[in-house]
A and B are shown apart, each in its own frame.
Chain A
Amino acid sequence: MKKHVAILLILVLMMSLFSVGCVKKVETAQEGEQGAQEDVIKIGVFEPLTGANAAGGELEVQGIKLANEKYPEVLGKKVELVIVDNKSDKVEAANAATRLVDKDNVSVVLGSWGSGFSIAAGQVLKEKQVPAIGTSATNPLVTKNNDYYYRVCFIDPFQGKVMANYAFNEVGAKKVALVIEKSNDYSVGLAKFFEEAFVALTGDENAIVSKVFYITGDQDFSAQLTNLKDSGAEAIFAPGNFTESALIMKQARELGIDLPILGGDTWETPDLLDIAKETAEGVVFSTFFDAKATFNENTTEFLEAYEKAYPGKEPAAVTALSYDAYVLAIDAIERAGSADPKAIRDAIAATKDFKGAAGIVNFDENGDAVKSAVIKTVKDGKFTFKTIVDPK
């Protein structure tokens, strides 16, 4: 008898393991009836809704849902959002993309927060020939050699250059230390572009005086930061996940490192401020969007919709970008006149001066948006707009 109970218990536990192990369908905006399948156009979304990047994923889904409420129909059909969780994991991201295409037959895919996940999924989407619109993934590899991946944000070479300029001109630093999240394509790439731009600016081969590494999920950075303290750097560039970055800020200040800390767009989440608290004060990063920097009438439209849905809150840049990604997808489907993935791809490729809430989007030959960057800082515990930097 006891043995039976035991076996049953093991089975239940194993099953709970399996049920969570599979890619799970988090939510479907409108559950289509079996017969009504042809009357909807499906747009797939893959975002990290759990794991290290969950906060970012959540912000992006907000924007997509907001845009979906505003534009619920295209070509006279209802748009159905199929949102899947990529669990902040590259393998899961590829699984999610496969699932969206094979099982849900989506016409176009949106996402994801995190370049690594987008790159992993991009290979799948390229093979299956379904177009994707990236929201905030900034690593060049996302769209490189992939005719099916486009994105509404600028890319890291531009972002790296913007921050290198800032470090050189505004901070007045001649020597910089890099803190790199080695297992994160975004961080490695951005640090590299920063280094190239900064070395070119200073004309000094050894302008990067220290490079320290950590991996995603690390919580203790004391050893790396202690090494960095001695390096003679005048500023720190530390692009990476906000989760680790927040702890880096905290531990750097604890160790008595009071150099300016610079970073990239991933830092713009309220969680970073929550965790780093007063140690985040004064950090500077580049991002895509600020409510105070109105680009065009669609920015106003987006801000109004956001204010209605989340009164009293400031939208994050990635929310605006994911909003843009959805609107661009709808616009492309409209122009393609069909739900056929290939036709939609061609329509996306032909986009000219798309007026997004986060700036005007034109694609270069790789499918990357050429657009302005916004520089922000943390002041009195809030993200504060500093300036806009135009491309080139």
Chain B
Amino acid sequence: MMSFQTFMQHLVNGISLGSLYALIAIGYTMVYGILRLINFAHGDIFMLGTYFAFYAMTSFMLPWWAAFVIAIVLTCVFGMIIERTAYRPLRNSPKISVMISAIGVSFLIENLAIVLFGGRPKAFPIPPLFGNIINIGGVRIANIVFIIPVITIISLAILLYIINKTKIGMAMRAVSKDYQASMLMGIDVNHVISVTFGIGSVLAAIGGIMWAMRYPQLMPLMGIMPGLKCFIAAVVGGIGNIKGAVIGGFILGLSEILIVAFLPELSGYRDAFAFVFLILILLFMPGGLMGENIKEKV
């Protein structure tokens, strides 16, 4: 039988993984909420964020906080460039064209990264502040495990504030309802969408950096799985719903860990489980857990 200590350790592990999923899923779901576009390149933007931070720290010898800020800014700019070149020209095309374009962008970034950064994994230097481990009654918790949920909650709060309380947020909500009408009302739709992508990429970069500090191994294809998992988290929470994405992320992370914890012989099927979960949600609860809030969607 599992001891209480072991169970608590599993719980901590699950919350740690879940908050990472939540953090990345927020950006995913926000872009969808406003543009009705599943940005398949989100996981790859996430990967770029980690590489930017890596090179800022190792090649330019910047202190970690400066490196993180620069990585976030660069990723933000990069996200906007992607929107400008790959999505904006398709603004009036059917949604499916934009989605295909997103898949293309995803492959393009992945393969570009293989060429530019090389296929060999890189070790992410963890600043000592985040690397320490605390022992609470036999449950071992890395500092970063506390920091990630805090950052997730802060990001969530800031995002909700921007969307609900600011002018640009109001414009985003308007665009998400009906972008043609918004245009007629004098909203600069291109600008609003650009900002949306910028914010989405900032969230991806923050998520990427946090991920890299938990799993300090960078690879050009590292964004694929987290990207897909966070897509699942977003769907579970009700895609387009930001609070739902956070809840979805925690549910997914916790259940992944607990499945392995209680059914160790199934641990090879952990990814499969996540996708079965997606299928079940789509079959029985297509709106996701918070889908009934559809009117509040941003």
Stretch at the interface among A13-21, A64-72, A283-291, A364-372: A13-21
A223 pairs with B121, CB closer than 8 A: no
Binds A, one of B93-101, B150-158, B232-240, B285-293: B93-101
Q: Contacting chain B: which of A162-170, A207-215, A300-308?
A: A207-215
Q: Is the CB of A13 within 8 A of B268?
A: no
Contacts of B38 in A (CB 8 A): none
Q: Is B59 an interface residue (CB 8 A)?
A: no
> Is residue B108 contacting chain A, with contact meaning CB distance below 8 A?
yes
Question: Is the CB of A36 closer than 8 A to any CB of chain B?
Answer: no
Knowing A9-B101, A226-B10 touch, does A2 contact B264 (C-beta < 8 A)?
no
The answer to whether the Cβ of B24 comes within 8 Å of any Cβ in the partner chain is no
Q: In the complex the two chains form, what is the Cα distance from A288 to B273 in whole Å? A: 39
Q: Of B3, B120, B140, B270, which one neighbours A218 at CB under 8 angstroms?
A: B270
Contacting A at CB under 8 A, from B79-112, are 85-86, 89-90, 92-93, 97, 100-101, 104-105, 107-108, 111
Q: Considering the chains assembled together, what is the distance between the CA atoms of A247 and B107 in angstroms? A: 26
Chain A's nearest CB lies how many Å from the CB of B106? Answer: 9
Most chain B CB inside 10 Å of its own CB: which residue of A3, A227, A271: A227
- Determine whether the beta carbon of A226 is less than 8 Å from that of B6: yes
Find the A residue at minimum CB distance from B272.
A215
Contact A58:B111 (CB < 8 A) given known A227-B261, A243-B219:
no
In the complex, are the beta carbons of A275 and B217 less than 8 A apart? yes
Question: Are B10 and A223 interface neighbours, CB within 8 A?
Answer: yes
Given A213-B264, A215-B268, A220-B17, decide whether A9 and B89 contact each other with a Cβ distance below 8 A.
Answer: yes
Contact flag A16-B219 (CB < 8 Å), given A223-B261, A255-B9: no
Q: Are B3 and A17 in contact (CB-based, < 8 A)?
A: no
Given contacts A49-B119, A222-B13, A229-B6, contact A9 B86 (CB under 8 A): yes
Chain B residue at minimum C-beta to C-beta distance from A18: B107
In the complex, the answer to whether A2 meets B89 with C-beta atoms within 8 Å is: yes
Query: Is there a chain B Cβ closer than 8 Å to A250's Cβ?
Result: yes
A205 at the interface (CB under 8 A from B): no
**CB interface residues, A 1-57, toward B, < 8 Å:** 2-3, 5-6, 9-10, 13-14, 16-17, 20, 48-52, 54-55
Q: Do A213 and B140 contact each other (CB < 8 Å), given the known contacts A9-B89, A16-B108, A271-B121?
A: no
A246 in complex: contacting residue of B6, B97, B104, B217, CB < 8 Å: B217
- What's the interface size class on A, roughly? 35 or more
A226 close to B13 (CB less than 8 A): yes
Cβ distance A31 to chain B, nearest Cβ, rounded Å:
21
Cross-chain contact A2 with B92 (CB below 8 angstroms): yes
B121, A13: Cβ atoms under 8 Å?
no
- Which of A212, A215, A217, A222 makes the CB contact (< 8 A) with B264? A212
A219 at the B interface (CB under 8 A): yes
Over the window 106-133 of chain B, the binary record of Cβ atoms lying under 8 Å from chain A Cβ atoms (1 yes, 0 no) is 0110010010001111110000000001
> Chain B 219-230, CB within 8 Å of chain A: the 1/0 string?
111100100000
A224 to chain B, nearest CB (A): 6
Query: In the complex, are the beta carbons of B93 and A214 less than 8 A apart?
Result: no
Contact call B120/A20, Cβ cutoff below 8 A: no
Q: Give the residues in chain A near B14, CB-CB below 8 Å.
A: 223
- When distances are taken between beta carbons in the complex, the residues of chain B under 8 Å from A213 are 264-265, 267-268
Whether B267 pairs with A224 at a CB distance below 8 angstroms is yes
- Cα A16 to Cα B190 in complex, Å, equals 27
CB–CB B142/A275 < 8 A: no
| Nearest-CB residue, chain A, relative to B85 | A9
Q: Which residues of A contact B146 (CB under 8 A)?
A: none
Given A5-B89, A183-B268, A214-B267, 14 other A-B residues pairs in contact with their CB atoms under 8 A: A6-B89, A13-B105, A16-B108, A54-B118, A211-B264, A213-B265, A219-B215, A220-B215, A222-B257, A223-B257, A226-B6, A227-B264, A230-B6, A271-B121
8 smallest CB-CB distances across A and B, nearest first, come from A13-B104, A54-B119, A50-B119, A223-B260, A222-B13, A274-B123, A182-B268, A219-B215
**Chain B: residues with CB nearer than 8 A to chain A?**
2-3, 6, 9-10, 13-14, 16-17, 85-86, 89-90, 92-93, 97, 100-101, 104-105, 107-108, 111, 114, 118-123, 133, 135, 140, 142, 215-217, 219-222, 225, 256-258, 260-261, 264-265, 267-268, 270-271
